[in-house]
Structure 1
Amino acid sequence: MDYKSFLSIAVIFVTAIQTTNAKTVVFYPPPLTSYILYHTNVAEALASLGHDVWLCVPQSIVKKGLVKDKSIKILEYGEHLGDLEKTIYDNAGILDRFWDGETQEISAMYRGVIESGKIANAILSDKTLIDNIRNLKAELAVLDSMPFNMNMIVLPYMLDIPYALIGT
């Protein structure tokens, strides 16, 4: 066997191994810009290894065009929920207090938890989103370990998908 034939067979073999080991991974970050960006960075790393990577992003944030990497597929949701990020920040009052230089009181955090719980219920009731994730036949779900997002741990259980938590 000559050198070129051997090299061709080696390339095909290595490509086949990578393709066979590729997994479908679904990321569900909290519906806030900073978390979308953070999860996008991790998703890019997995996509660069050949995995089929999906990122759940609320429609209001999709419009911002934050996910630049075309190898990451976007699973849009929440059109009926409006601007989730604005809703969370407005109802919790966290940003206003921050920019006014005031200390955060525990009550502001509590309002954030309550608001996140309401949003989690609405998202978990979104039959279209749940069906779209189910149809992907994902082998792994990745969620954020941030306390406000822990209600979403129900999602991989609902769909019988193994999951991993990441956090900052």
Structure 2
Amino acid sequence: MLILPLASKAHGRREAAARFWLLAHQVSQRSPAERLTNIQAGFAPGWIRAVREALRLAPPQMEALFNASISTLERRQRQQQSLDPVASERLDRVAMVASHALRAFETPERAAQWLITPNAALGNHIPLQLCETGLGTAQLHRLLGGLPERHDQCQSNPF
């Protein structure tokens, strides 16, 4: 009897993770003006769970990423309140980088692993943490843009 709720919960996690990758792709296809409008309006609260499940983030990581306490994030989800512009902008950055990582690494699993693993090319910072700033995000896009050439030239890719 306990198997059904667990299976249902696992299915819900997979669904949320798949939703994140779909939404990340959709965000990456929008114009800057459309993205800005979405940021100002605030992203839907469902993104919170989708990001958490897709990247398997712990509460402290969620707090840092969204610049909000877990209780605030959970309340927004319960009350179906949009994210504020700061959290929405960070989420936009994460979505853009995640979409770029997916193109570079070809599977959601490998892209997610890259996003949450300390990276020597980034001074051992975790790529996801760099999404907190515009400069960090630009650095990630530059690094990801160089991956195909480096990967083709070297079997043991440090990225």
- Report TM bin, short chain: under 0.3
Specify which structure has the higher proportion of helix.
2
TM-score by length of 1: 0.25
TM-score by length of 2: 0.26
Specify which structure has the higher proportion of strand.
1
